[in-house]
Amino acid sequence: MAVRKKPKPKKHVSVKKIVRKSAQGNKRVPTKKTTKKRSTPRYVSRNVPQIENLLSEIEYGESIAQYFDILYPEEVLTRVQAAFYEMILKKYNVKSACDLACRTGQTLKLLNKLGIKKLAGVDVSPAMIARCKKKLPKSVPLFINDVYLAPMSVGEVKYDLVICTKDSLPMVLDDEALMNFFAQARELLTDQGVLIVEMWNYEKIWRNKERFMPVMDRCTKKESRLFFLENDFHQELLVRNLVRLEKDKNEWSLRALSIPARPVTRNEVEFFVKEAQFSKWGFLGSYGGGPYVPQESMYTILIATK
């Protein structure tokens, strides 16, 4: 009696590998068979480094909420980004906006000052949302959810502008969750709506193994504080360490907050945007409007229209 051999299971191919192959000139890129179905609703990368004291997305947000406006001063954001958003509002006739990683509400406040009254915000951290409420009109709806679920948090309302900035997208570690994010973000847009996603230029950071980001001096006459970001590189992800130095009398103390992050590249973003069926897209390397240059740009800024 012949014994039938069990067929070998098909090997799962990650989106990251597909993107790398397509960037090298492959003509055909698989689409529907790139992700593996999971039985649970939460998507977690298998390659998260096994390091003690790694924080979850919500734990990280809760820990930095009280320092966020010190780390990223509102006046600096306004000076750097106001002209950019003025251009976006005019070019795309924006009358409404939703921030999918609103943090303490700095960008929503800026958009409100620029004349946008129909606003909404989502953040994973209740502490961030509490600070956001103090900066915005009471009528602005705010929601608490993970980044990859943020587009589904605001209901059936459509917006002319949807943004995910402040380097928040790399908190989404899984291929399927990233695909879900872009597909749902597109559904959140009006017919002529525009999506903006901003993050560090991880193509440069990963290729050059840039461990240390510039020191952020936040010292005042009353307080001495220094912050800097340190990257630890692992197989597919990096661990982002936010280091805070504080001086009390004559002694300095140090604390580090660590979280896994996915070094999302332009090619990967372009893959997901194409799969989500956006009509047009492009990339900038700065809020000043400079083109994206892989080896030079500080940021990767996606602008995609529905």
pLDDT by 10s per residue, the chain, length 306: 444 444 444 444 444 443 443 344 433 334 444 444 433 334 445 466 666 689 999 999 999 999 999 999 999 999 999 999 999 999 999 999 999 999 999 999 999 999 999 999 999 999 999 999 999 999 999 999 999 999 999 989 999 999 999 999 999 999 999 999 999 999 999 999 999 999 999 999 999 999 998 888 888 878 888 999 999 999 889 999 999 998 887 888 889 999 999 999 999 999 999 999 999 999 999 999 999 999 999 999 999 999
Asked whether the beta carbons of 159 and 119 are under 8 A apart, the reply is no
- The pLDDT score that the predictor gives to residue 252 is 86
For residue 183, how far is the Cα from the chain centroid?
15
- Nearest Cα neighbor of 160 from 123, 199, 116 is 116
115 and 240 together in one domain? no
pLDDT attached to residue 47: 63
Residue 11: inside a domain: no
- 230 and 120 housed in the same domain: no
Q: Are residues 122 and 238 in the same domain?
A: no
Distance CA 202, CA 263 (A): 5
- 163 in the same domain as 276: yes
Q: Which two tokens stand for residue 297?
A: 């740009």
Residues shown for the chain: 306
CA distance 109 to 79: 13
- How far does CA 125 lie from the centroid of its chain? 14
**19 within domain boundaries:** no
Same domain, 173 and 240: no
- 82: in domain: yes
Per-residue confidence (pLDDT) for residue 280, from 0 to 100: 97
Answer yes or no: is 159 within a domain: yes
pTM beyond 0.75, yes or no? yes
Number of domains in the chain: 2
Are 84 and 66 found together in one domain?
yes
Looking up tokens 């847009």 gives: 189
- Tally of CB atoms within 10 A around 231: 20
- Report the C-alpha gap between 284 and 263 in whole angstroms: 17
87 part of a folded domain: yes
Residue 47 inside a domain? The answer is no
| pLDDT on residue 171 | 95
What is the rounded CA–CA span in Å between residue 299 and residue 286? 6
191 & 241 share domain: no
Domain shared by 195 and 296, yes or no: yes
Alpha-carbon distance of 35 to 112, in angstroms, equals 39
121 shares its domain with 250: no
Co-location of 232 and 185 in the same domain? no
Q: Domain for residue 35, yes or no?
A: no
Domain that holds residue 76: 58-202+263-305
Put the strands of the sheet holding 251-261 in their side by side order. 216-217, 224-233, 238-248, 251-261
